[in-house]
Structure 1
């Protein structure tokens, strides 16, 4: 039953990932933590996200804005190093509550705050670093990174295509660390392999919806799911 529920989570969240290019892991993480525990959820969703993003890049690589990809990736890596250190330093239960509050605030901002504020490039760089820190702890830097991406990648196709390879680089680094640390268990490998057909279906469906429906609608859906997942994690 847990495997079946996990596959449903993979399907639904990666349809969103296929549409927006960023929301899959942050939506799946709280539910997967509740279902399987954080020590399984982090490496498992890392692999799942890697495969999903490779599929997205395969069909949309022509839309990648390489300058922004390199900039976001380099700065986020700095944040990832900091995030790994913080994760090792503090109790997981405390970090999970902070994480839940973080995604609830991001969700509420996305749902209720329509106004876009002008911010300096220095602030945007800080946002990328903070995104990397969250990604280093919980593989969920996407909601913060979009604050930068929506300003620098206003075209929907470039936004989606450029974010996917960022996650490939960052998650590949984290996967190597997880493998070396002995966190990639037989259970995780089996669940990852089972997830691949579901991922392919999810990305195809997400691509079709992305082509025919408003991204604004699906961003709103992502924020609503973020709110539900954050509240669930706290409860």
Structure 2
């Protein structure tokens, strides 16, 4: 029961960040979610909440969507997601978790330490999209990598958030179908999902308010700090 309560607290806090940025909620929630509920439960519940969060953002920010970038991101991320799902079934879970933890720490350190714009060739950016898809297929956490691409292409924080949310609706729906076929939609997991809806909704409401009232840079830095702590916790587990 204590683990369930702690998981609900994680859902609330991380969806505040999701409401602000449109990308960081699931990747922040996944490491503690794995600790508290196991990887299958965490993936299933957080993926569905990610879909709901994205639908919420698209509904209130539809005019900010850049459909050209949505199409481009989806083409290459779908390739990566298919690869990620396959790799997850082939490689040992312990190894994947360590790689995942190192990945999120490196992304967090980049966000904290690297200042200003860095020139990145288009072919490298496409590679980043595919890699984001691979990570998303394995851990529903491609947001930090795809953020590298979107930050180069979209300068408005509202367009950034709304455009990514369309991508997550489509990709996470595909992942939900995959999870259903894998038998992850158990009655226990579905009950936890229902329990997660109230803290999720409250977190999204607060996050959306802060999105318009607070500095985006401040909350991105906060996301990166929390991300690094989560990754380190997985490494030393």
TM-score (norm 2): 0.97
Quick one: distance in 2 between partners of 1:178 and 1:136?
11
Give CA deviations for 1:186-224 in whole Å, capped at 9, x if unaligned: 111111112112222111100111111110000000000
Quick one: distance in 2 between partners of 1:55 and 1:187?
25
- Long gaps (5+) in structure 1: none
Quick one: distance in 1 between partners of 2:124 and 2:146?
12
Of residues 40-49 and 213-222 in structure 1, the stretch that sits farther from structure 2 once superposed is 40-49
Give CA deviations for 1:58-79 in whole Å, capped at 9, x if unaligned: 1111111111111111210000
Quick one: distance in 2 between partners of 1:157 and 1:48?
20
How far apart are 1:7 and its partner, in Å? 0.8
Residue 70 of structure 1 is matched in structure 2 by: 71
Quick one: distance in 2 between partners of 1:228 and 1:10?
16
Quick one: distance in 1 between partners of 2:63 and 2:183?
37
How far apart are 1:130 and its partner, in Å? 0.4
Question: Which consecutive segments of 4 or more residues in structure 1 shift more than 2 A?
Answer: none
How far apart are 1:109 and its partner, in Å? 0.7
Residue 18 of structure 1 is matched in structure 2 by: 19
- Long gaps (5+) in structure 2: none
How far apart are 1:115 and its partner, in Å? 3.1
Residue 7 of structure 1 is matched in structure 2 by: 8
SS in 1 for 2:116: coil
Equivalent residue runs for 1:43-192 within 5 Å: 43-192=44-193
Quick one: distance in 1 between partners of 2:225 and 2:18?
15
SS in 1 for 2:119: coil
Quick one: distance in 2 between partners of 1:98 and 1:61?
36
How far apart are 1:151 and its partner, in Å? 0.9
How far apart are 1:28 and its partner, in Å? 0.2
Compute the RMSD of aligned alpha carbons.
0.8
Residue 224 of structure 1 is matched in structure 2 by: 225
Q: Contact 2:4–2:36 at 8 Å: present in 1 too?
A: no
Quick one: distance in 2 between partners of 1:56 and 1:115?
28
SS in 1 for 2:61: helix
